[in-house]
Chain A
């Protein structure tokens, strides 16, 4: 079983749809992240949860809504997205703490296409 699992791997949705991305980590980590990866742009941090509390919201539009019910699960709820939101959404986890925050373990990503 891989360390960080994301579902679905591919998602196509219309601008009026509501969908959710799911992430589960089996590494015993206590910090989880959502990143957005678009072509020719750096990985963009969206949200950080540490011990199930949100510690970072990087000016992300409200059409993206995260949820972290426990330290192993992270969701990204999607609502009325725009075509420019089409990207690869990556979930990651790490041990908490200053030295460990950069040592991320990524899931395989969810490729989102907004029509």
Chain B
């Protein structure tokens, strides 16, 4: 069983719509959750972190965490072509362990 699971996509969303990216994780005691964006040919860039249940908003981005369901999501409102990238979900394995486990990523394409 994969530790961090994401739908590889590609996910195609019209410009201006909401893009919804999902991630599930297997370690129940995971503490910290991150979303990284990786443009083609570039390195990953941290865009959101979330540590407690609920929603966290930053501009057009909202991260949602549900620890009971072991589920974290990223919503991108008013999607722009510049949002086209691969989005990586990452989770710290367990409390006191700083190892970060990544999913394989979801490729998002925003259609003008």
Contacts and interface: CB of A to CB of B under 8 A. Distances in A.
B103 A104 contact: no
A99 B43 contact: no
Given A40-B104, A102-B32, A102-B92, A45 B46 contact: no
Contact of B46 (A48, A56, A104): A104
Report the interface size class on chain B. 20 to 34
A12 B30 CA distance: 39
B4 interface: yes
Interface in B90-110: 90-92, 95-96, 98-105
A42 B101 contact: yes
B57 interface: no
A42 B102 contact: yes
Contacts of A41: 104
B60 interface: no
A98 B44 contact: no
Contacts of B88: 43
Most buried by A among B34, B43, B45, B96: B43
B101 A105 contact: no
Interface of A: 40-43, 45, 48, 56, 90, 98-99, 101-109
